[in-house]
A and B are shown apart, each in its own frame.
Chain A
Amino acid sequence: MLELRHFSKVYKGGKKAVDDFSLTVEAGDIYGFIGHNGAGKSTTIKAIVGVLDFEEGEILVDGHSVQKSPMECKKLIAYIPDNPDLYDHLTGIQYLNFIADIFEVDRSEREERIGKFAQEFQITGALGNLISSYSHGMKQKLALISAFIHTPKLLLLDEPFVGLDPEASLALKSTMHEICKEGSAIFFSTHVLDVAEKLCNKIAIIKEGRLVEAGEMEALTRNRSLEELYMEVEEHEK
């Protein structure tokens, strides 16, 4: 579903944010992406969704090159940044309908999916209000619902659990399982190692722009917790 081949990103000024990064995410995977602040997680995710240009390597989404066929890739993707700034001047429902229009979701499907997810994230009553009146958590919920509307094949989520209340966190985890069972894949960054350990079947650890560990959760952790593995990797790479 997602393939990164020797992907590198150099920022202006010569700073190499990501260096020779290769990874494969398969359909049905819930792939956790961990690393300390500034390790290159957001840069990698932004390059996959086409928000950030890159010069080295190749990124393929369901076989389509992100650089050569961006439209085909974007149709398959849903992305939520770490701090989703939404259109404050729209109401929640106007925003969701806007996203449904952009992804050309038909009426019955959008109504059904918005209704379902809005109820799961307990935000239906507030959908008629302006987004500017929403709290951070409500904006996060709205961004998540907008990501689920068009049944994406690949979800790229940057710190999706930040700001969510316990019910919404639970709803998100359950939705992630559900859509992966249907054949989609999820690649998400997080600092919450407990969540990653329980939720993901695979993990990747990035350090200073380089991929240092990647693969099946069980194979990597063996008899350790993810936290212990992460600390070991951090120590070893120093």
Chain B
Amino acid sequence: MRSSIWILLRAQLLNQLRLNDFKYETDKRKKTRTIAFAVSMGFVAILVVSYSFGIGYGLGSLGLADAIPGCAFAIASLMVLFFTLFKVNGTIFAFKGYDMLMALPVPTSAVITSRFLLLYGMNALFSLGIMLPMGIAYCLWVQPQALFYVMWTISIFVTPFIPMTIATVLGTLVSAISSKSRHTNVVGIVLSFVLLFGFMGASLSTGTLSSSQMSVEQLASLGSTISQKMDQAYPLTGLFENAIRSYDLAAFLAFLTIPVVWYLLFVKIVSIRYKAINTGLTTQHAASDYKLQRLQVNSPFGALYRKELRRFFSSNSYVLNMGFGAVFLLVASIACFIIGIDRLEQLMGMPNMRETAIGVAPFAIAAILGMSCTTCVSISLEGKNLWILQSSPLKPATIYRSKMAVNMTILVPIALLSSLFISLCLTADFLSAVWIFVIPLAYVGLTAVWGIFVNLSVPDFSWESEVTVIKQSMAAMAGIFGGLLFGLIPIGTLLLLNGVDRNLLALIVAMVVMGLTVALYKKVCTIRLSG
């Protein structure tokens, strides 16, 4: 049993992490891409570690070092939960190669364990990246006993268990409910958004502090307030904090036992119903009663555009990862409009925020829109279907244009609506309102072209699961973070160069963005679509 788990896990690791590409790939371009991807992942890891250390150190410098363990545990748990939620379907259930694997002479529990271990491995890295630097920050402020180091190290590897199982149940439920519906994808996407915003709302309402609690007088009790809030949101936090802060071995043992027992029980229960769950998720009744109807005729561009739009909405991962920013922006802008600028200033404790917000708003909207870059993975997502486009009488530019048009179809209405709500909320003057509309629209064009450019530079057609391309590919990272960066640069300029004319800055940025868009567009139209 143990050896079969290891054999299965090893094969999955080789496949997922593309370790063989380093060793056996003869195509230098592909090898360079794999190395570049590894380097970019390393860069992201450094960012996560630095950010986590910054939070820990920041809490310590505010005299809230006692809150660090709870915060580290809660943040790591939340990250694991989000990361696992949309990876369950495709990693543990309904994954490619399921039929082949289940036909092998290995116990079902070995298959499940190997799949869980794969997911656990990735989540343990997440936990390590967050909890280790926060633990170091804690040590710098508290100088704990030797026992702390042992407890903290063990905790890092136990933390992912419970959020992983919760995410598995929720992710499977979403897939199960949506697979029963006629409109599987729409239901799946809506449920996933509800779940995401639900989590965000819940963590905001229980895990954050209102402005009244931020008063200087209450600073001394902030640590315990934070702990209480987090314990309300996730009761295991309290147990963990007790164990770590008071070196309470009994609490620590309880903290270790609960997730491990819970996890083992969960795996046991899942293994009993594993085949049934997989069958339920992967099989649908398909009526074979279609009768030929009048067909709609489109231009080649129209056909590609419709195909691309269907591709986007057919994938939960695609919509959630690339559409989340845009949906979040819309929700946030509506919320700002309803709350009003006066109440917002009050809530954030920034009485003169309006003026700054008017200057920053166009670029902030643009930055969030820039993260919804659907084009940056759209070419890679052709995958094994690439032959269809390659053997068709289509100019590559027509294909790219159809993908850009889809990105713009998604972003333009959201940009316009968000700009409207934000400009109404800020009661902006005419010229400022114009920039609140123009800048995001200019960025939408750049985002669409930038994505194609990035994806043509680092395409990946040999994926097994689309999630790898959407979440982990170099193109996805460059597309999303590039878009974000384009928006953040003018914000930084505006905040750093005090007194700069914001209208002049907006004009310059708009010109630069449009110029860059045209130049990139001309460039991509000349690039061939090769596999």
Q: Which residues of A contact B (CB under 8 A)?
A: 12-13, 49-51, 53, 71, 74-75, 77, 79, 81, 84-90, 92-94, 97-104, 106-107, 110-111, 114-115, 118, 124-130, 133
Contacts and interface: CB of A to CB of B under 8 A. Distances in A.
A49 B391 contact: yes
B307 interface: yes
Q: Name the 6 nearest CB pairs between A and B, nearest first.
A: A128-B290, A101-B303, A89-B314, A125-B288, A85-B384, A74-B393
A107 B294 CA distance: 8
A129 B288 CA distance: 7
A16 B481 CA distance: 41
Interface residues of B, number: 40
B387 interface: yes
Contact of B307 (A71, A90, A111, A133): A90
A44 to B, nearest CB: 14
Contact of A97 (B290, B295, B315, B387): B295
B186 to A, nearest CB: 13
A77 B391 CA distance: 8
B392 interface: yes
B307 A87 contact: yes
Contacts of B385: 85-87
B391 A104 contact: no
Interface string B293-309: 01111111011101100
Nearest to B29: A12
Interface of B: 26-28, 284, 286-292, 294-300, 302-304, 306-307, 310-311, 314-315, 383-385, 387-388, 390-395, 530-531
Contacts of B393: 71, 74-75, 102-103
A4 B466 CA distance: 38
Contacts of A13: 26-27
B299 to A, nearest CB: 7
A106 B303 CA distance: 14
B295 A107 contact: yes
B295 A127 contact: no
Given A74-B392, A102-B304, A103-B392, 10 more contacts: A50-B390, A74-B394, A86-B385, A98-B303, A102-B393, A104-B300, A106-B297, A111-B292, A126-B290, A129-B290
A131 to B, nearest CB: 10
Nearest to A51: B390
Contacts of B302: 101
A127 B391 contact: no
Nearest to B530: A53
Given A86-B385, A87-B388, A107 B292 contact: no
A121 to B, nearest CB: 13
Given A101-B300, A101-B302, A124-B290, A50 B391 contact: yes
A151 to B, nearest CB: 14
Contacts of B307: 87, 90, 98
A108 B387 CA distance: 27
A93 B306 CA distance: 14
Given A53-B530, A111-B292, A115-B292, A102 B391 contact: no
A127 B531 contact: no
Contacts of B292: 93, 111, 114-115, 118, 124, 127
Contact of A89 (B27, B294, B311): B311
Nearest to A14: B26
A79 B286 contact: no
21 contacts: A12-B27, A49-B390, A51-B390, A71-B393, A74-B393, A75-B393, A85-B383, A85-B387, A93-B295, A100-B297, A101-B298, A101-B302, A101-B303, A110-B295, A110-B297, A111-B295, A124-B292, A125-B289, A127-B290, A127-B292, A129-B290
Contacts of B531: 51
B393 to A, nearest CB: 4
B391 to A, nearest CB: 4
B289 to A, nearest CB: 6
Q: Taking each of A12, A79, A128, which has the highest tally of chain B beta carbons within 10 Å of its own beta carbon? A: A128
Given A86-B388, A102-B303, A94 B290 contact: no
Q: Taking each of B292, B311, B384, B391, which has the highest tally of chain A beta carbons within 10 Å of its own beta carbon? A: B391
B288 A94 contact: no
A119 to B, nearest CB: 9
B436 to A, nearest CB: 36
A127 B295 CA distance: 13
A92 B293 CA distance: 13
A53 B311 CA distance: 28
A113 to B, nearest CB: 11
A81 B385 CA distance: 11
Contacts of A71: 393, 395
A81 B387 contact: yes
A51 B311 contact: no
A136 to B, nearest CB: 12
A85 B531 CA distance: 15
B297 A107 contact: yes
Nearest to B285: A133
B384 to A, nearest CB: 4
Contacts of B298: 101
Contacts of A125: 288-290
A92 B292 CA distance: 11
B496 to A, nearest CB: 46
Q: Taking each of B292, B300, B306, which has the highest tally of chain A beta carbons within 10 Å of its own beta carbon? A: B292
Contacts of A77: 391
Contacts of A53: 530
